Structure 1
Amino acid sequence: MTASRKNKVPLVSDDEFTAMCAAGQDVPFCWKNTLYLEWFSESNGRVVIETCDFELELSERVWEMDEDAEEAQKLANMHAMRDFMNALVRRIEPAGDRRIDSGEEEDEFQWEERLKESDRLADAYQEVLEKYLDDPDAERKEAFAMGWDGLLEALAEESEAPESAETPWQLNDGEDEDWEVDEAQFRQHPLQSKAHEVVLRGIDLTRAGGEHPAAAALNGALMQVAGKLAGALNGDYERETGYVLAMLKRCLGWQNDALSACSELIGVADDGDHSRALEALRDSIFEIREEIVNLRKVLKGN
């Protein structure tokens, strides 16, 4: 519990706040101290209440933590955060040794489970970052909460090691002469190239059309597609088919989100040329979606 956090507080009502956000308008705000309450339970997990609208009544002081008790409570809080994050991530038990020995590849559905785990890990880390954002010991606490014991050990060794004038990654004289770039690993797949071009068009069109909530949704979805296609298709090294299928399936979802957002922008466009340009963009999104569907069929052998 703390009352020393400061947050942005809107200066308008909830209805006005919602309407202004939907219209893409700037919401007036001020900074206020907020009361922050956090606890953990087996039934509800992590619970956070944060508000600036509170009435505080102080009773006579009954007890006070000594320094040891306070440190013990801080440690208990960190363990509670670590347990909650571990439950949130729900890491998949690795079947790596068996799979490597047999040379067996994971299928699309197994890869999808791994990608879901990656999503949960990213969400958990985002929550940890927000919690320890202003903490002077943020790096160590983040590593502890996420269960990254290897990083904790590295941080401990780093703090104990004598300072060195030379950075560990610094090249010695002449080392860069043998540096070669493997152009094959950066080779762009035609489908990813199209997706990248559509991202740039989307950014240009939404910038020209002014602020609208659907614009952020459109660009975010298109960027996800282009980025994931780059990871799944670019370069000449071979990926597992199951991984590529799982990534392509995810891209279809983002394509659907992009199509929905693009249609919404077309509906509110007040300029004929801008509307037609958005319609052309929507056609391109449809084309990429169709190519993704066809590529999935090829990989599945259909």
Structure 2
Amino acid sequence: MAWRIREHVLSGEIDNRVKGRIRGVLHLAGSPNPITLDLEGNAHPDLAGSSIRFRNPRATEASLEGFPREQTGRAGDITASHRVKDLLVSTEEFLAMSEEERSTAYRWANCLYLEWYSPQSCRVVMEGIGYEIEWVEGPLWQISEDDLREQAGRTDDAMEEFLENVAGALADSESSGPSETDEVIPPEEAAADAEADRMDLLNDRILRRVEKEGPSEWDRIHEEEAARLRKERGEPDPTPLTPEEEAVRAEWIEETNAAAREAAEEVQADSWKDEEPPEHPLALECKEFALALRKQDILPKNASDEHPLWEIANGALFASGKLAGALNGCLDGEEWPPDPLTAPSVLVFLKKARHFLQDALRGLDSADEENLLSLQWRTDTRTRLTAILDGTEQLIQEARRSLTNPED
């Protein structure tokens, strides 16, 4: 689990005057109980050896239920000079501009970035734009290049451990499902799962670095992280293409682009019909259910993503996207169950949808424990979620059979 608390921190202090130790306190808007920090490690050079106070003039109240107020563990990236894009329009305006494919207005701004890894809360991130910062004292010492490399290595190790825990939780969730208690996964499906896990790990590493180094460095970061992952797994470097292979690749790219242009022209020619693309009934049911949750005005506006009601809503929404990716193409001239060639990738999407639906049900369990909303609402929601999950499970079995019994 990753906690992001930037909107709810009212004020705080970070103290790295003692080398190798970061202490601090964070005051939450609307809460009498502050968060205390006692972390191993050092800040970036701009804050190393120093103590600062800060205040967030735009803090919003939140309960942050389940978030321990005493935080220990390892420091990640802690700096007051992190560069981020700061939108100059409201969230509603940004969404409207995105739908209309209009460019959005933003500026580059410095950001107070606090990240740590704790046994209490896994990973916690506070990314504060527009915070008022006051220097208390320091620097009392200067961080060396060796210290920086050591800190970066510890941060990478902590991130790796966090990602492994997330992957382990996903695997535990998958293995607890009824489909895998007494059934062997076909090798093709296992290979697709492994490749999906590999790409998830690679993307997580890339995105984490892009957050710090900026999107303009994407190509370099991608190349470095791909090489790092190959080295860790003992995989060979990609063999350079021969001139003949380069020519074939260029021809394939041109054919693909031509097909894409032709498809776009067909879509444009048919746009006057104002027809929505077909949606699979289960994907449509999950999407409508997720959207209905948002229209009911039941989601607490200042709560974190870990609030039970948000877990239900987000789980259903994310599941609907995975179901659409797995199923909607089957309505466009493709048969079901999918053929053995496409079944592994379809199964990856379906199993991720199942994971998100199970997350939603766990949120509903917490809602039951806390007696949130009415019993009738919780009962109706559980009935719909369970029906969508059962339908997903049935499709997983059908897609899997196309691998185990391709002639059926």
The structure that is strand-richer by fraction is 2
The normalised TM-score by structure 1 is 0.46
The normalised TM-score by structure 2 is 0.36
With CA pairs under 8 Å and 6+ residues apart, which has the higher RCO, 1 or 2? 1
The structure that is helix-richer by fraction is 1
